[in-house]
Amino acid sequence: MGYLLLLPILFPFAAASALALPALKTAQNRRRFVVAALALEFGFAILCACTETGTLPVLPLGGELCVTFALDGLGRIFSLLVVCMWLLSGLFAQEYMAGEEHLGRYYAFLFLSEGALMALCCAANYLTMYLGFELMTLFSLPLALHTQSDAARRGGCKYLFYSVFGACLGLLGFYTVHAYGSSTAFTPGGTLDPARLAGHEGFVAAAAFLAVLGFGAKAGLFPLHAWLPAAHPEAPAGASALLSGVITKAGVLCVIRVIYYQFGAAFLRGTWVQYAWLALALVTVFLGSMLACKEKAFKKRLAYSTVSQVAYIFFGLTLLQPIALTGAVLHVVVHSAIKNGLFFTAGAVILKTGRTDVRALRGVGKAMPFTMGCFTVLSLGLVGIPPLGGFVSKWLLAEGSLKSGVPVFGWLGPVVLLVSALLTAGYLFSITITAFLPGKDFDAADAPHREPGPFITVPLAVLTALTVLTGLCPGLLTGPVAALAAALC
């Protein structure tokens, strides 16, 4: 059954290659193929998640080095998240990008980046994870560059530079684990060898810090966050949603693997490394929220919001406490659903109205009530208003922080998260107010636009429903995640 794991990894590469067939050059055939292939990939991922596949060595490279795949509890969560969001983004693109040029290229790299992400999710050791991380960067770059405008090229170059620089720091972590650990295979609790580690604790701790900083670049962790607001606004809305809602989480997955499966929480707890991470996370939370409040471009505001919200996850991870870790992993899922939905609404508004500035959205809610209604529900979830999913994850983050016993940060963290929540309400609810309450002098003829079609409204409805469901039934996720967190901390 081990070879079953290769199915969701290799199938997207096969689908990308199939797009070169002459029969798939027509828009109708390509649409059917893309939707069917994404749905089939979704089914393959579910099949693997429900099957005990074991460990699969694929490519021995000499010595202990080997490309190896396995699917543990953490990998199942992230892999299902990837295929779900890719399917919804593929559906969204059928209407949003209809009639655009180079769609074959766009969908090819959509499949290729999905395959690289699935390889990363199924990685059983540091080397495999690193290779998946690098492939994901290379294959997702063309999505950010798709429009080929000057701004897109600048944003794409910045994305590539930050990602490659971060990957170099991550590679340092690999060399360190290989030199001072008993294995590079992912093992709960870490793999550092006390005999090899003796006398080198300072160097290993510094390497761990740099590795997390490097992988954190993909997730927008300060000071390597500048690529997010540069790459997002110029990419198609579906690609922006994936960059913000899913690809940033690849950095989170790598950080979890590095902290809890390689260096080990026990080695890092109480060290300067933990305090430095916590400081960077809280700075990023506050900085992202403040920049989002000042930003007037719709998609760029959402990009700055991602910088802040993903930092919530980093804060929970670096507390090295089981409740906080549970909240962090739950926020991975919740934020992905919410942020993909918010970018879908931004894309729908831009598609139907051509308006990209939040100050130009006056009365849009009266012309697009379903779209902006979903935006409002998603915004409530991101702020953390009960009974939506964002409330549960942020509550667990605050509870874990207060119970962590970490000096200063134990109480400072919830304060910063609360301030950030208020700022989030300010930069999101102002859009809803402008859209639905334009004022008495507003003429409905100023916004004679209609709702988008089902390829946009259905994915948007699904993401809104997921936001509500994770709040009303949090036990569906918190139960298994809590058991995983207890084993890691």
Quick one: pLDDT band at residue 68, thresholds 50, 70, 90?
A: confident
Instruction: Say if residue 239's pLDDT is above 70.
Output: yes
pLDDT digits (tens, 9 = 90+) for 209-218: 999 888 887 7
Q: What is the identity of the amino acid at 42?
A: F
| Cα dihedral 345→240→341→226 (10° resolution) | -110
Q: How far apart are CA 245 and CA 1, in angstroms?
A: 31
Position 247 in a domain: no
The DSSP secondary structure of 226-289, one letter per residue, reads THHHHHTTTS-HHHHHHIIIIIHHHHHHHHHIIIIIII-HHHHTTSHHHHHHHHHHHHHHHHHH
Q: Specify the length of the chain in residues.
A: 489
In a domain, 169, yes or no: no
Is residue 228 predicted with pLDDT exceeding 70? no
Does 1 score more than 60 pLDDT?
A: no
Closest of 330, 323, 434, 457 to residue 384, by C-alpha:
330
Q: What average pLDDT is seen over the chain?
A: 85
Half-sphere exposure (Cβ direction) of 235: Cα atoms closer than 13 Å: 31
pLDDT at 62: 66
- For the chain, the C-alpha Rg in angstroms (whole number) is 22
Looking at per-residue pLDDT, the higher value among 442 and 126 belongs to 126
Task: Establish if 60 belongs to a structural domain.
Answer: no
CA angle 34, 39, 42 (to 5 degrees): 130
178 in a structural domain:
no
Whether the predicted pLDDT of 107 surpasses 70 = yes
Tens of pLDDT along 281-339? 898 888 888 888 888 888 888 888 888 888 899 899 999 999 999 999 999 999 999 99
Structural domain that includes position 455 = 271-489
Q: How many domains does the chain have?
A: 1
Tokens of residue 436, six digits: 């639905």
